[in-house]
Structure 1
């Protein structure tokens, strides 16, 4: 089996409402969809959602790198040879994990379909039967975030992830408002997206949040400030999670060596896809660090890929892949049993792609073949 053709689609995924985090507001999510067709007629889909603030990649840049650099190199290759696929991509261009993730995911989709098994069976088999879904609260006024949290609890959600990161004083009010509204039995995870900048600001905020019983605090300091995370972790009893500070193996080695986190957030778009994500999970497991699989707010394609990794690994204890629940139109049909996610046993990623919707959401596209 060989890759005969790679189609690349630059699309805009429409959101029900704007998604607001510390460094950006999204009215829609720009995404790149990759469609691999093999000489046997099998088709696999992958996705790359770039974030300039995390990996330095852009939507248009990712499209161009796929079109001009990666796709031409992979025509004629066997998509099941994952180590070789990544070696070829890494030899052709340094970094660009989002572009590589799109190819990686499409290859796994094809491989699963070729063997008639779900992707998680290619990663060690299924370990988890289900994961609870955490509702993500965009940054808003304290009252508005508390109201939304209350509504989601009424709908059955048992955990909230709060996006904060404007300034410490305002964020403390937001967190306190949500905790007061939902009570003590609902898990609250706080994601600062680097917005508190340094360890001093973070420790000040945590001092004021001692009574809020946070599950964990995620990436309060700048991504590259691993030492700042070490200081916060050593001076606070609140569990610490690293997100933007973990991209690949080198970051994971430093996090482990310095004991910089209680938990890490692995994202396929940051590390280069399913194959590198499993390597990071294995490293974390050896160091006794729990993992979460997170997302850049991807469609059903990228979200399904993340779920397959999560469902196959014992060390992955939480997921945050809620993109499809935020889109008013999606290219795939990943099914959520809200407030849970339970994967099907269908081959590959286990989802169907609506080609008509894909064309409708496409801004521009390109086809690469031998």
Structure 2
């Protein structure tokens, strides 16, 4: 099964409601789609969202990385030589993790097809069904409480609340939500780098004093501020999850060795795909630190790959893969079944994706 071509396209999928964090507001998923074609007729699908404020990868950068660097390095290679392909992909250029992730996902799709097995079984096969949280965008406290109640009615038992915009108001947001949903629902919060270290400690301690029962806080401080992250971890009872601070296995190792966080968040667009994500899983297993699997605002192709990883590995204990259910439509035929909070895998080879509707291919 030799790689003969890589086609690039774009999809546009409106969101049900605007997605608001401390970093940005988004109204639709505007992602790059890749198809890796082979001489056997098999096609591997991948996807990359241009998330400049987090990964630094824009739409043009993703396309340029694939067209000008990655293509020439892997076309002609055989999927059987998988490790060699992964090495060449990684060495094609530095950073550009979203472009690498899109290709990595498509290659793993083909790897599963080569051996006629669903990817999650090849990676570990720990389970076939997972349960995700759902994100509540940052808004006024009353609106966030209303959105939280709506999510509960749809069956969600874990909510990820976006904060990080005005610490004092963040406390009021969480008080309003906890009052609305009661204490049978898990609340986790994501500050998206929105606080300073001392501000984070003060805010989280206040939340502790209010008895808000926060499951964990995600990335309370700037991504580069590992000392600040450790300061927060050492000074609050609420567990701290490192997200934007962890792109590579090397980043994960630094966090683990310095005990700068209690948990690690794996996102394929940060790691450059499944190949490096699996290395982070192995490191986390060694240190006994649980992981969450998350996503950017992505459609079902790349999130589907993350689902396979989550289903494969027991070290991934927390799931934040709500991207597809935030979309107003699903352009993907095949793949995992997203039924609100419940995500179920099938036993089709690879990622099980048959077609992506609405793809607008680039003109060559």
Q: Aligning the two structures, in what range does the TM-score lie when normalised by the shorter sequence?
A: over 0.9
Structure 1 Cα separation of the partners of residues 80 and 191 of structure 2: 38
Aligned equivalents of 1:86 and 1:366: distance in 2? 27
Tell me, what secondary structure is at the counterpart of 1:215?
A: strand
Matched, 1:365 2:362: yes
Q: Which runs of 5+ in 2 are unaligned?
A: none
- The residue correspondences of 1:1-370 to structure 2 (distance < 5 A) are 1-124=1-124, 126-196=125-195, 198-210=196-208, 211-333=211-333, 334-354=336-356, 357-359=357-359, 362=360, 365-366=362-363
What is the alpha-carbon distance in structure 1 between the residues aligned to residue 315 and residue 91 of structure 2?
30
The answer (yes or no) to whether the contact 2:292–2:317 under 8 Å persists in 1 is: yes
Cα distance in 2 for residues equivalent to 1:58 and 1:143: 34
Query: Cα distance 1:306–1:366, how it changes in 2: closer, same or farther (>3 A)?
Result: farther
What are the superposed Cα offsets for residues 311-363 of structure 1, whole Å, 9 maximum, x if unpaired?
Answer: 11110001111111111233314412333112111111123323xx233xx3x
Q: Give the SS at the match of 2:354.
A: coil
The structural deviation recorded for 1:207 is: 1.9
Deviations along 1:125-168, one digit per CA (max 9) or x if unpaired, are x1124222211101111011101111211221101000111110
TM-score scaled to structure 1, two decimals? 0.94
Instruction: Tell me the TM-score normalized by structure 2.
Output: 0.95
User: How far apart are residue 10 of structure 1 and its match?
Assistant: 2.7
CA distance in 2, matches of 1:73, 1:55: 23
> Cα RMSD between the aligned structures?
1.4
Whole-angstrom distance in 2 between the partners of 1:325 and 1:55: 22
Instruction: Give the Cα–Cα distance (whole angstroms) in 1 for the partners of residues 103 and 292 of structure 2.
Output: 22
Inter-partner Cα distance in structure 2 for 1:29 and 1:254: 32
The Cα shift of 1:80 comes to 4.0
Which whole-Å CA distance do the structure 2 matches of 1:215 and 1:183 have between them?
14
Question: Please, which runs of 5 or more residues in structure 1 have no aligned partner?
Answer: none
Measured in 1, the distance between the counterparts of 2:279 and 2:167 equals 35
Structure 1 stretch 74-83 or stretch 261-270: which is displaced more? 74-83
Q: CA deviation at 1:25?
A: 0.7
Secondary structure, counterpart of 1:358 in structure 2: coil
Residue 129 to residue 329, structure 1, CA distance change in 2 (3 Å) = closer
8 Å CA contact retained: 2:45, 2:353: no
Instruction: Give distance in 2, aligned partners of 1:80 and 1:190.
Output: 42
- Change over 3 Å in CA distance of 1:351–1:91 after alignment to 2: closer
**How far apart, CA to CA, are the structure 2 residues paired with 1:68 and 1:366?**
15
Distance 2:250 2:95 in 1: 12
Aligned residue pair count:
360
User: Post-superposition shift, 1:90?
Assistant: 2.7
Q: Is the 8 A contact 1:303 1:323 kept in 2?
A: yes
Deviation at 1:50, TM superposition (A): 2.8
Distance 1:274 1:287, change over 3 A: same
Query: What is the CA deviation profile of residues 209-244 of structure 1, one whole-angstrom value per residue up to 9, with x for unaligned ones?
Result: 011000000001000111111111111110110000
